[in-house]
């Protein structure tokens, strides 16, 4: 069974919600749609207070090269365009819409009919994906159209589709692969056309044998697409690790996948591409896993962007008594929420509730130099050393020891038997080292 | 509603802990302990108990009254130091010497550096070497193994096989003439030979090592490099002159090699962090062991070899960093 070689950990999978079919969450009373839900420059609002909008209408325009359009996820009246606390707790600009009915924009195909044929050219496809505000749905939220425009001198050979879902607990991609496989495969064919590649590989960890079997059965209709089962290991869903696992190529330090002829997209993104290109539908909803050991009904909800997290929790049976922490995303890389009114955004793959007991970190002991962090670091770094250097503000040494290669997967903090806050120090170190490097080039 | 905890990712943590690792090591020492108690009897039990209790006692005193920090004597590390120190001294060592050895191991070996995780040298080995230099006579009389011995005085003692060979070579005897004076290899493998309390049975120690490997408390690199290089270096000398140099199998089953390679050199605090670092360190230990055993003044060199290599660990860590992802790219 294929997997990446260097490092990796095996946190308990806890995929509690994998049997729960995707349910449509009722349209919430109000939505709060941040103008920055993607990597890159925030979009510029094109609506103002008092405007009426329809579902799917453009409300903020991504004008920079790396940016993305944002659309209304409900129909109703714009209440305000204001700074509100976002997922990370900072106040950032968002468009708040009060829902009235569910009136969709003209030209969006709301039917469930599968449309396999796509007559558009590569340029038209990329344009459409740009227009509809599609971003990476795995969590990194990089604007998808940018990835589909191969830079000068680069050549894409493979389209890699990430169906790994290596984060414990999360099941939104799993359910999507089971319930929307044909749409995903069509989306993949469309992306292949846009990239002019002949080969696409879907990587799926073998803890999802039903998804692997289901997609395999459909493959004959989709030439060039193949499925590769992978051994379960975190963080296989990181794009560099996934490329290594699937085709044994290593993306050089500091470079992008296109360097080794690859473009990586999530299965959720492939589905969003299908909807944008074939159904003319902007990215206004996504599948969100809501889960936790004490939650009544762990579920997978098709949720409108901007829905408050509290609405999701209510829909899943309400907040359990002993809840101590609510995480936006998976347990390894997700952000702990300070405010349950913060909205679901394009990158929200799950909401995870931990009990009070699970919410506490371990007591911190001395480093016993067990070398586990060094052994499991998927980037081959020395987390114990980087944490120490960062703690001592030795940022030049941090740079020399390649702190910027760290992708913050959290494996080091997970594995440390002494409960040391390795990644906390490394995060600080990365921020400061990054500042130092940028100031040098000015 | 009550307040929510907000902390950086990740939000799940392994159930491994420092004390789980330490108690895992102790569990793995049970076969070796049973064999030693069988061969050296009550004396071995007394020495082991004395060492464990004194190590915990001295750690308690130093943490509570000198450092005035948290007391962590039940995290298992002081118990390990005690057991390992006992396992590398003779069973008939006077108990007051055991107490002094424990004081040096915990005090000089561990607490002066700041406690668990900060020490440069393996504490048990520091204690043993201190005893070896301070009490050379007592540390060189090894009781002969007797099944279920309850004797505490007038124990029959004799030199270890390593000492027999060393002495013989110094007298100009030929190796094949000396071998009849030492137990058969199969006997030595089981632990039926003169030696320190816990080091005698290679089999029991290897069993413990396999348990630790399975629980991922140690990794294969250091023991393999250490034992493998002893075998290779001893083998080269033996092939050059089998009359002067004893065969490599002899080196594997005698003295403290197994306990050194599996329990002392793998001490995580005092060994390198990266795979290649561990291999280099293991080979260094093996090389120095053979150099001291064959050309040095002492019949046994494992303790010195490991302590010397301990001192090189910071350098090895800088010289042998792990291979990074995307560092040298070979894409076909």
- Restricting to A residues 329-358, those with a Cβ less than 8 Å away from any Cβ of B are 329, 331-338, 340, 352, 354, 356, 358
Q: Is A338 helix (H, G, I), strand (E, B) or coil?
A: coil
Count chain A–chain B contacts defined by CB atoms under 8 A.
167
Contacts of B21 in chain A (CB under 8 A): 368, 370, 417
Residue B299 pLDDT class (50, 70, 90 cuts) = confident
The ipTM value here is 0.90
Q: Is the pLDDT of residue B229 over 60?
A: yes
Q: How far is A244 from chain B (nearest CA, A)?
A: 10
Asked, for residue A10, whether it belongs to a domain, the answer is no
Do the beta carbons of residue A411 and residue A376 sit within 8 Å? yes
Contacts of A329 in chain B (CB under 8 A): 9
Q: Is the pLDDT of residue B159 over 80?
A: no
Whether residues B9 and A319 touch (CB distance < 8 A) is answered with no
Contacts of A255 in chain B (CB under 8 A): 326
Q: Look at the block and give the residue holding tokens 């902390």.
A: B7
Instruction: Quote the number of domains for chain A.
Output: 2
Q: Both A390 and A268 in a single domain?
A: no
Q: What share of chain A is helix, strand, coil (3-state, %, to 5)?
A: 30, 20, 50
Whether residues B21 and A331 touch (CB distance < 8 A) is answered with no
Q: Is A27 helix (H, G, I), strand (E, B) or coil?
A: coil
Asked, for residue A105, whether it belongs to a domain, the answer is no
- For B2, other C-beta atoms within 10 Å of its C-beta total 9
Domain end point (choices A251, A279, A307) = A279
pLDDT of residue B332: 45
Do the beta carbons of residue B48 and residue B87 sit within 8 Å? yes
For an interface test with B, the pick among A246, A262, A380 (most B C-beta atoms closer than 10 Å) comes out as A380
- Structure confidence by residue, pLDDT tens digits, B78-96: 999 999 999 999 988 999 9
Asked, for residue A65, whether it belongs to a domain, the answer is no
Sign of CA dihedral B82, B84, B87, B89: negative
Asked, for residue A284, whether it belongs to a domain, the answer is no
**From the list A89, A354, A369, which residue is nearest B11 (CB)?**
A354
pLDDT of residue B328: 67
Taking only the tens of pLDDT, chain A with its 442 residues reads 899 999 999 999 999 999 999 999 999 999 999 999 888 899 999 999 999 999 999 999 998 989 999 999 999 999 999 998 877 778 889 999 999 989 999 999 999 899 998 889 999 999 999 999 999 998 789 999 998 888 888 889 999 999 999 999 999 999 999 999 999 999 999 999 999 999 999 999 999 999 999 999 999 999 999 999 999 999 999 999 999 999 999 999 988 899 999 999 999 999 999 999 999 999 999 999 999 999 999 999 999 999 999 999 999 999 998 999 999 999 999 999 988 999 999 999 999 999 999 998 989 999 999 999 999 999 999 999 999 999 999 999 999 999 999 999 999 999 999 999 999 999 999 999 999 999 987 7
What tokens appear for A285 in the block? 């909803």
Asked, for residue A56, whether it belongs to a domain, the answer is no
Domain end point (choices A279, A300, A326) = A279
Asked, for residue A321, whether it belongs to a domain, the answer is no
Whether residues B321 and A379 touch (CB distance < 8 A) is answered with no
Closest CA to B302 of B282, B288, B316, B283: B288
Q: How far is B251 from chain A (nearest CA, A)?
A: 29
- Structure confidence by residue, pLDDT tens digits, B4-57: 899 999 999 999 999 999 999 999 999 999 998 888 888 899 999 999 999 999
Domain end point (choices A279, A302, A324) = A279
Q: Both A135 and A267 in a single domain?
A: yes
Q: Both A275 and A376 in a single domain?
A: no
Closest CA to A42 of A114, A132, A141: A141
Whether residues A365 and B272 touch (CB distance < 8 A) is answered with no
Transcribe B137-182 into DSSP letters: TGGG-EEPP-TT----SS--EE--HHHHHHHHHHTT--HHHHGGGS
Asked, for residue A41, whether it belongs to a domain, the answer is no
- Structure confidence by residue, pLDDT tens digits, A288-345: 999 999 999 999 999 999 999 999 999 999 999 899 999 999 999 999 998 899 999 9
Asked, for residue A113, whether it belongs to a domain, the answer is no
Q: Both A269 and A397 in a single domain?
A: no
Q: Both A385 and A270 in a single domain?
A: no
Q: A234 lies in which domain range?
A: 122-279
Whether residues B17 and A251 touch (CB distance < 8 A) is answered with no
């Amino acid at each position: 069974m294929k997997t990446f070689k260097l490092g990796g950990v095996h946190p308990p999978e806890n995929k509690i919600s994998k049997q729960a079919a995707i349910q449509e969450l009722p349209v919430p009373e109000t939505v709060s749609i941040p103008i920055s839900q993607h990597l890159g420059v925030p979009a510029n609002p094109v609506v103002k207070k008092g405007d009426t909008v329809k579902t799917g209408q453009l409300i903020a325009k991504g004008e920079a090269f790396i940016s993305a359009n944002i659309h209304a996820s409900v129909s109703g009246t714009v209440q305000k365009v204001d700074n509100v606390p976002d997922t990370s707790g900072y106040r950032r600009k968002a468009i708040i819409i009060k829902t009235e009915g569910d009136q969709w924009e003209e030209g969006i195909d709301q039917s469930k009919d599968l449309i396999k044929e796509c007559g558009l050219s590569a340029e038209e496809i990329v344009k459409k994906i740009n227009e509809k505000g599609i971003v990476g749905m795995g969590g990194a939220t990089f604007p998808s159209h940018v990835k589909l425009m191969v830079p000068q001198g680069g050549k894409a050979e493979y389209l890699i589709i990430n169906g790994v879902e290596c984060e414990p607990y999360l099941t939104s991609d799993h359910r999507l692969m089971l319930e929307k496989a044909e749409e995903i495969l069509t989306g993949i064919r469309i992306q292949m056309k846009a990239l002019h590649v002949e080969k696409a590989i879907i990587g799926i960890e073998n803890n999802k044998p039903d998804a692997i079997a289901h997609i395999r059965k459909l493959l004959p209709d989709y030439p060039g697409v193949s499925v590769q089962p992978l051994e379960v290991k975190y963080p296989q869903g990181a794009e560099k690790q996934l490329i290594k696992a699937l085709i044994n190529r290593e993306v050089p330090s500091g470079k992008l996948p296109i360097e080794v002829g690859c473009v990586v997209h999530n299965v959720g993104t492939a589905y969003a591409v299908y909807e944008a290109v074939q159904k003319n539908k902007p990215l206004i909803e996504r599948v969100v896993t809501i889960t936790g050991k004490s939650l009544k009904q762990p579920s997978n909800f098709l949720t409108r962007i901007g829905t408050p997290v509290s609405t999701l929790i209510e829909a899943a049976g309400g907040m359990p008594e002993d809840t101590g922490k609510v995480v936006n995303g998976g347990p390894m890389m997700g952000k702990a929420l300070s405010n349950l009114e913060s909205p679901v955004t394009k990158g929200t793959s799950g909401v995870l509730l931990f009990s009070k007991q699970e919410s506490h970190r371990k007591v911190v002991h001395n480093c016993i130099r067990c070398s586990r962090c060094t052994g499991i670091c998927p980037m081959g770094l020395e987390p114990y050393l980087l944490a120490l250097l960062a703690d001592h503000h030795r940022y030049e040494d941090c740079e020399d020891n390649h702190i910027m290669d760290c992708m913050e997967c959290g494996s080091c903090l997970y594995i440390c038997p002494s409960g040391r806050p390795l990644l906390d120090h490394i995060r600080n170190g990365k921020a400061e080292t990054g500042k130092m490097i940028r100031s040098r080039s000015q | 509603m009550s307040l929510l905890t907000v902390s950086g990712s990740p939000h799940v943590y392994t159930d491994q802990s420092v004390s789980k690792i330490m108690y895992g090591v102790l569990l793995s020492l049970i076969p070796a302990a049973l064999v030693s108690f069988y061969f050296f009897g009550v004396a071995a039990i007394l020495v082991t108990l004395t060492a464990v209790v004194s190590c915990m006692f001295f750690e308690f005193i130093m943490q509570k009254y000198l450092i005035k920090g948290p007391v962590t004597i039940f995290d298992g590390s002081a118990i390990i130091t005690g057991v390992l120190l006992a396992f590398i001294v003779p069973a008939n060592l006077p108990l007051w010497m055991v107490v002094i050895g424990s004081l040096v191991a915990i005090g000089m070996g561990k607490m002066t550096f700041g406690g668990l995780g900060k020490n440069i040298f393996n504490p048990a080995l520091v204690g043993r070497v201190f005893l070896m230099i301070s009490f050379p006579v007592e540390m060189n009389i090894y009781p002969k193994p007797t099944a279920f011995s309850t004797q505490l005085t007038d124990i029959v003692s004799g030199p270890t096989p390593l000492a027999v060979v060393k002495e013989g070579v110094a007298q100009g005897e030929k190796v094949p003439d000396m071998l009849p004076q030492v137990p058969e290899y199969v006997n030595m493998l089981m632990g039926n030979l003169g030696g320190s309390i816990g080091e005698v049975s290679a089999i029991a120690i290897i069993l413990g090592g396999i348990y630790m490997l399975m629980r991922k408390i140690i990794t294969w690199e250091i023991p393999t490099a250490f034992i493998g290089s002893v075998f290779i270096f001893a083998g080269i000398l033996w092939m050059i002159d089998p009359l002067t140099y004893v065969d490599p199998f002899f080196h594997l089953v005698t003295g403290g090699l197994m306990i050194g390679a599996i329990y002392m050199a793998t001490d995580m605090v005092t060994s390198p962090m990266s795979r290649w670092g561990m291999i280099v360190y293991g080979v260094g230990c093996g090389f120095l062991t053979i150099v001291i055993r064959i050309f040095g003044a002492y019949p046994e060199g494992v303790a010195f070899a490991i302590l010397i290599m301990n001192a090189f660990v910071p350098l090895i860590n800088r010289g042998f960093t792990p291979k990074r992802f995307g560092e040298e790219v070979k894409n076909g």
